[in-house]
């Protein structure tokens, strides 16, 4: 029998995940699994109305129910200056409503009881006298002069307008449009959807009245940032707050904001002196926590008749709900939407964005997305498709004609980004080859003659991920660096502590592999710890695909720091000079005589037992890595669909994904990230919709109405790669968690439009449901 060399877990090896062992045994430790002695339970009373004045709240009957310990109202919080809290976009948000409710599902009061069932029993006993006000759910209407004023409590706020923001060069863009042969226009709405990790949000707040220490077990993608914000909001000394983000059952941006439930549970624990648990149910999650998208976009593209893009002009209106709570860096207003020029060499571009308050839940989280890059990517890829139809050109050719060329990197975009690296045509060509593009086009032509509808959709996306650099990007003033602390113990085993927080991305494995690569300690010997603010160095957390670009870079850099010290120790052990020591995957040897060598384990032992004179003991270090730039992952997705003329039903026949995320640390995990993102992209394109009726009732408040793709409807994916390392990242990696959700919706929708474009159907907004397609076919006189 052949003896297999066991994998060490170096970069590029698909080793199995270390974290799986507990999960497959049902031994994960999620927030809801935590039970503390004497723990109380909290339930939240939510507003049934989208807009109403609160005349009075009478909690006496609820208070009198046996088992109820306390009822917390906004008024009580106001006494502690906690009725309002700051949002991540510099606005304020009600913790518990005092004056008005501004969206259906808004938090009005909380019951704390000895039993979760009793806490729920008490909710309907709270009497709230509401005066219902007219609600506005459409941002266009919200901006009309006669619209009801939603934020009447805000000083100086006289309309529902939140912000105006621009990027790019307006004059230059106008010039480009003046020179164009034609202007291609697309108005499209990227509807509201919700990340919906299978685990909802929750907290166990444990404030010790004797010491004032608060331990908060929290579904948090950013525990350190949350601790600082808690300290500021609640006025608690930061050293007394410990946030533990245990295993997280998926995040996708949903667990970035601080929610009112967290604040009330913490305040209640502080006031009562007992631990308080709050875990929201699914409806609460869907109607009140961070939604995504909700962008109304108008894109115009100036083109020459030969297909060359000359300019891009975008106007967008974002619906931010009742509080402007977008999770995004503080210096931008519509996230990184200005990446909207995508993979193309667009000489001039201008973006104008406005935000509006509506009577809908606040949030605007980057759902598997780096701050609005998803909306941007969708718009440009749909626009290119529209241009191809209008110009009568093949959409692949049109892309190739306009791609930024490999020799143009670093490439300065018209809206101010500096792209690090890319080979867009290579990725597109690989996708075309793998799908068999030419044959498919022939088949499509044949089918069209017979009246059958078949479409091929392309999206060649470029993302911008891995924020900072800190001097340009911060969250609530906190610079967007990230950190890694590495301790190598005498026996050569190590612990790596990070400021980021995995929610399923496999950090315990991937980051151990970076240490393995840089120091030669097998990944199995490197324990990765995250999520506990007492035990890990400060970092901004995991979202916007920043763990590998920033936390991964920090890991590589700290490993290299230790390697430099290890070299000196090795020189001492080998009785050679430092400069003569070479290193290769865990072995230090004297240049020219590889037989004279010491392992990293020997060196680690010596770091505590046999040091050169004057050297400090130990082999430990910490790095705070501030990235010099973003990274720019890219790829091409190709979708083939068949559409039933009689029903409008779409069948996804093929889905080919070529991703380039730079160097792949663990290809198995990378591929898993792509699969997951593609399924979510499929869901967004065809199923996932949070919508509201005129009165502001949320119509996607459970999984019957808010449809998530299951194994049955999710198509199969064919994945391929190209590798273009990031030149500025220590190991050339770019980040992969979000590419597929960013890039794929446009590919799915383009496939549908490619099938029906010849009938004069230019656009169908997501989710592209059968009835929408059928209605469009009907209107075009082409339904069966």
Partner 1 sequence: MGRPITVTVNGEKTSAEVEPRLLLVHFIRERLRLTGTHIGCDTTHCGACTVLFDGVPVKSCTMLAVQADGRQLTTVEALHAGGALHPIQAAFKEEHGLQCGFCTPGMMMSSFALLAENPDPTEEEIRWALSGNICRCTGYMNIVKAVRAAAVQMKEAAAVPAGAATGS
For the annotated catalytic residues, the residue numbers are 221, 368-369, 738
Q: How far apart, in whole angstroms, are the C-alpha atoms of residue 428 and residue 397?
A: 10
Task: Show Cβ contacts of residue 472 under 8 Å, excluding neighbours closer than 6 positions.
Answer: 329, 331
Angle at 417 between CA 411 and CA 422, to 5 degrees: 40
Contact partner, 584, from ligand FES, partner 1, none, Cβ < 5-8 Å per class? none
Interface with partner 1 by CB under 8 A: which range of 5-13, 191-199, 259-267, 524-532? 191-199
**Is 227 within 8 Å of 239 (Cβ atoms)?**
no
Residue 510 within binding range of partner 1, rule CB under 8 A: no
Q: Least distance from C-beta 712 to ligand FES, angstroms?
A: 15
Residue 27 within binding range of partner 1, rule CB under 8 A: yes
Structure tokens at 688: 């996932």
Choose, by CB under 8 A, the member of 170, 242, 429, 675 that binds partner 1. 675
Q: How far apart, in whole angstroms, are the C-alpha atoms of residue 600 and residue 489?
A: 11
The DSSP H or E segment spanning 63 is helix 60-64
Q: Least distance from C-beta 741 to partner 1, angstroms?
A: 10
Structure tokens at 145: 């002069």
Residue number, 258 or 655, with CB nearest to partner 1: 655
Residue 148 within binding range of ligand FES, rule CB under 6 A: no
Q: How far apart, in whole angstroms, are the C-alpha atoms of residue 323 and residue 316?
A: 18
Choose, by CB under 8 A, the member of 73, 98, 188, 200 that binds partner 1. 200
Q: Which of 207, 199, 221 is nearest to 263 (CA)?
A: 207
Q: Least distance from C-beta 197 to ligand FES, angstroms?
A: 7
Q: Is the peptide bond before 54 cis (omega within 30 degrees of 0)?
A: no
Choose, by CB under 8 A, the member of 678, 687, 689, 776 that binds partner 1. 678
Q: Least distance from C-beta 572 to partner 1, angstroms?
A: 42
Q: Least distance from C-beta 682 to partner 1, angstroms?
A: 8
Q: Least distance from C-beta 400 to ligand FES, angstroms?
A: 37
Residue 720's φ and ψ, nearest 5 degrees, are -140, 170
Choose, by CB under 8 A, the member of 9, 299, 347, 504 that binds partner 1. 504
The DSSP H or E segment spanning 658 is strand 650-660
Residue 585 within binding range of partner 1, rule CB under 8 A: no
Residue 124 within binding range of partner 1, rule CB under 8 A: no
Residue 198 within binding range of ligand FES, rule CB under 6 A: yes
Residue 406 within binding range of ligand FES, rule CB under 6 A: no
3 state SS of 106: coil
In the bound complex, which residue of the shown chain has the CB atom lying closest to ligand FES? 198
Residue 712 within binding range of partner 1, rule CB under 8 A: yes
3 state SS of 52: strand
Residue 181 within binding range of partner 1, rule CB under 8 A: no
Residue 677 within binding range of ligand FES, rule CB under 6 A: no
Q: Least distance from C-beta 24 to partner 1, angstroms?
A: 4
Q: Least distance from C-beta 250 to ligand FES, angstroms?
A: 5
How do the residues of the chain divide into helix, strand and coil, expressed in percent and rounded to 5?
A: 30, 25, 45
Residue 4 within binding range of partner 1, rule CB under 8 A: no
Helix (DSSP H) and strand (DSSP E) numbers for the chain: 19, 32
**Is 136 within 8 Å of 149 (Cβ atoms)?**
no
Residue number, 31 or 553, with CB nearest to partner 1: 31
| Number of Cα atoms under 13 Å in the Cβ half of residue 503 | 31
Residue 676 within binding range of partner 1, rule CB under 8 A: yes
Q: Which of 189, 150, 155 is nearest to 359 (CA)?
A: 150
Residue 748 within binding range of partner 1, rule CB under 8 A: no
For the window 477-516, what string marks contact with ligand FES as x by the rule CB under 6 A?
---------------------------x------------
Q: How far apart, in whole angstroms, are the C-alpha atoms of residue 248 and residue 500?
A: 13
Cβ burial, residue 66 (10 Å; 0-12/13-18/19+): exposed
**Is 404 within 8 Å of 323 (Cβ atoms)?**
no
Q: Least distance from C-beta 121 to partner 1, angstroms?
A: 10
Number of residues that bind ligand FES (CB under 6 A): 3
**Is 365 within 8 Å of 257 (Cβ atoms)?**
yes
Q: How far apart, in whole angstroms, are the C-alpha atoms of residue 318 and residue 356?
A: 6
Choose, by CB under 8 A, the member of 197, 290, 470, 499 that binds partner 1. 197
Q: What is the distance of C-alpha 693 from the center of its chain?
A: 28
Q: Which DSSP state fits 169?
A: -
Residue 210 within binding range of partner 1, rule CB under 8 A: no
Looking at residues 230 to 269 of the shown chain, list those that interact with ligand FES (rule: CB under 6 A): 250
Residue 6 within binding range of partner 1, rule CB under 8 A: no
Residue 24 within binding range of partner 1, rule CB under 8 A: yes
Residue 660's φ and ψ, nearest 5 degrees, are -125, 105
Length of the chain: 784
Choose, by CB under 8 A, the member of 90, 250, 406, 436 that binds partner 1. 250
Contact partner, 248, from partner 1, ligand FES, none, Cβ < 5-8 Å per class? partner 1
Residue 728: CB atoms within 10 Å? 18
Looking at residues 275 to 334 of the shown chain, list those that interact with partner 1 (rule: CB under 8 A): 281-282
Structure tokens at 36: 């503390």
Contact partner, 503, from partner 1, ligand FES, none, Cβ < 5-8 Å per class? partner 1
Interface with partner 1 by CB under 8 A: which range of 385-393, 404-412, 425-433, 664-672? 664-672
Q: Least distance from C-beta 648 to ligand FES, angstroms?
A: 30
Cβ burial, residue 339 (10 Å; 0-12/13-18/19+): buried
Contact partner, 710, from partner 1, ligand FES, none, Cβ < 5-8 Å per class? partner 1
Site for partner 1, rule CB under 8 A: 1, 16-17, 19-28, 30, 32-33, 35, 117, 195-200, 247-250, 252, 281-282, 503-506, 668-669, 671-680, 702-704, 708, 710-712, 714, 716-717
Site for ligand FES, rule CB under 6 A: 198, 250, 504
């Amino acid at each position: 029998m052949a003896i297999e060399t066991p994998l060490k877990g170096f970069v590029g090896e698909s080793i199995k995940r270390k974290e799986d062992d507990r999960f497959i045994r049902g031994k994960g430790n999620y927030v809801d699994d935590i039970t503390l002695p004497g723990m109380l339970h909290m339930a939240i009373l939510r507003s049934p109305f989208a807009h109403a004045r609160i005349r009075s709240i009478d909690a006496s009957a609820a208070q009198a129910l046996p088992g109820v310990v306390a009822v917390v109202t906004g008024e009580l919080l106001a006494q502690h200056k906690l009725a309002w809290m700051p949002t991540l976009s510099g606005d304020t948000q009600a913790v518990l409503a005092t004056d008005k409710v501004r969206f259906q599902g808004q938090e009005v009061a909380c019951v704390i009881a000895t039993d979760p069932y009793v806490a729920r029993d008490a909710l309907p006993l709270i009497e709230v006298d509401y005066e219902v006000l007219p609600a506005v759910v459409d941002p266009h209407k919200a901006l009309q002069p006669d619209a009801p004023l939603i934020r009447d409590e805000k000083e100086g706020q006289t309309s529902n307008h939140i912000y105006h923001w621009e990027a790019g060069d307006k004059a230059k863009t106008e010039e480009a449009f003046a020179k164009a042969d034609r202007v291609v226009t697309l108005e499209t709405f990227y509807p509201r959807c919700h990340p919906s990790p299978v685990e909802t949000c929750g907290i166990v707040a444990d404030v010790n009245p004797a010491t004032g220490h608060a331990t908060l077990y929290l579904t948090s993608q950013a525990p350190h940032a949350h601790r600082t914000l808690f300290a500021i909001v609640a006025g608690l000394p930061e050293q007394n707050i410990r946030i533990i983000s245990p295993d997280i059952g998926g995040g996708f941006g949903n667990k970035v904001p601080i929610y009112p439930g967290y604040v009330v549970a913490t305040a209640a624990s502080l006031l009562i002196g007992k631990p308080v648990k709050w875990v929201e149910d699914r409806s609460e999650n869907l109607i009140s926590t961070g939604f995504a998208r909700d962008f109304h976009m108008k894109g115009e593209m100036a083109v020459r008749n030969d297909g060359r893009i000359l300019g891009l002009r975008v106007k967008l209106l974002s619906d931010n709900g009742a509080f402007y709570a977008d999770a995004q860096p503080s210096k931008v207003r519509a996230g990184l939407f200005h990446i909207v020029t995508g993979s193309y060499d667009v000489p001039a571009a201008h973006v104008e964005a406005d935000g509006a308050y509506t009577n809908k839940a606040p949030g605007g989280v980057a759902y598997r997305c780096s701050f609005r890059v998803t909306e941007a990517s969708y718009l440009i890829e749909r626009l290119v498709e529209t241009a191809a139809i209008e110009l009568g050109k093949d959409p692949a050719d049109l892309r190739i004609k306009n791609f930024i060329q490999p020799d143009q990197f670093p490439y300065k975009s018209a809206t101010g980004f500096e792209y690090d690296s890319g080979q867009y045509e290579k990725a597109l060509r690989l996708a075309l080859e793998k799908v068999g593009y030419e044959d498919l086009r022939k088949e499509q032509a044949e089918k069209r003659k017979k009246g059958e509808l078949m479409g091929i959709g392309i999206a060649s996306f470029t993302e911008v991920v891995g924020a900072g650099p800190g001097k340009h990007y911060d969250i609530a003033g906190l610079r967007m660096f990230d950190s890694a602390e590495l301790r190598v113990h005498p026996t050569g085993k190590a612990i790596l502590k990070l400021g980021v927080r995995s929610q399923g991305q496999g950090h315990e494995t991937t980051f151990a592999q970076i240490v393995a690569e840089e120091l030669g300690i097998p990944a199995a010997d490197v324990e990765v710890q995250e999520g506990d603010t007492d035990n890990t160095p400060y970092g901004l957390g995991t979202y916007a695909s920043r763990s590998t670009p920033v936390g991964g870079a920090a890991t590589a850099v700290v490993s290299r720091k230790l390697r430099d010290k290890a070299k000196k120790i090795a020189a001492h052990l080998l009785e050679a000079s430092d400069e003569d020591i070479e290193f290769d995957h865990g072995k230090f040897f004297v240049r020219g005589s590889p037989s004279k060598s010491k392992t990293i384990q020997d060196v680690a032992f010596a770091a505590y037992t046999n040091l050169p004179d004057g050297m400090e003991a130990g082999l430990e270090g910490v790095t705070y890595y501030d990235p010099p730039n973003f990274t720019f992952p890219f790829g091409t997705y190709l979708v083939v669909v068949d559409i039933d003329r009689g029903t409008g039903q779409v069948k996804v026949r093929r889905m080919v994904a070529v991703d380039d995320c730079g160097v792949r640390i663990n290809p198995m995990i990378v591929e898993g990230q792509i699969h997951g993102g593609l399924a979510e992209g499929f869901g967004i394109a065809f199923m996932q919709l949070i919508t509201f009726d005129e009165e502001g009732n949320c119509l996607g408040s459970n999984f019957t109405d808010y449809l998530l793709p299951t194994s049955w409807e999710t198509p199969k994916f064919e994945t391929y790669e190209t590798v273009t390392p990031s030149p500025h990242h220590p190991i050339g990696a770019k980040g992969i968690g979000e590419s597929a959700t960013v890039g794929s919706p446009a590919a799915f929708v383009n496939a549908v439009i490619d099938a029906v474009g010849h009938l004069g159907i230019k656009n169908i907004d997501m989710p592209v449901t059968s009835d929408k397609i059928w209605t469009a076919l009907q209107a075009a006189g082409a339904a069966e």
